Amino acid sequence: MRRNHLTDQQLATLSALGAQGFGLGLIEDPAAVGYASSEGTFYWGGAAATTFWIDPVEEIVVVAMTQHMGVRATGSIRGELAALVYGALED
């Protein structure tokens, strides 16, 4: 599930709806996501701002089960949680 499973034709059809593919999200460019992460991190967000990510570089798994409805809530919570998690890592 760490890669897109839709064909180019399916993606073109769904792109108007904002679809990015079918599978887990994969961070290829950490600087572009707007919050702390590593290249190769995969993630998924769900209803009520639930989220999880697995970072194979830092060898961490994060699961956040919240109850906060709202379209913008997940990204905000994920970014704040990522800052706390990655800020707590020691070299």
Q: What is the pLDDT of residues 36-77, one digit of tens each?
A: 899 888 888 887 878 899 999 999 999 999 887 765 555 577
**47 found inside a domain:** yes
**7 found inside a domain:** no
pTM, full prediction: 0.70
Number of structural domains (the chain) is 1
- Determine the Cα–Cα distance for residues 24 and 1; give it in Å rounded to an integer: 6
**3 found inside a domain:** no
**2 found inside a domain:** no
**20 found inside a domain:** no
**38 found inside a domain:** yes
pLDDT in the model for residue 61: 96
- Determine the Cα–Cα distance for residues 25 and 51; give it in Å rounded to an integer: 11
**18 found inside a domain:** no
**Strand residues in 1-91 grouped as ranges (E):** 25-26, 42-45, 51-55, 60-64
**52 found inside a domain:** yes
If one counts every other C-beta atom within 10 angstroms of the C-beta of residue 4, the result is: 17
Task: Please say whether the beta carbons of 45 and 51 come within 8 A.
Answer: yes
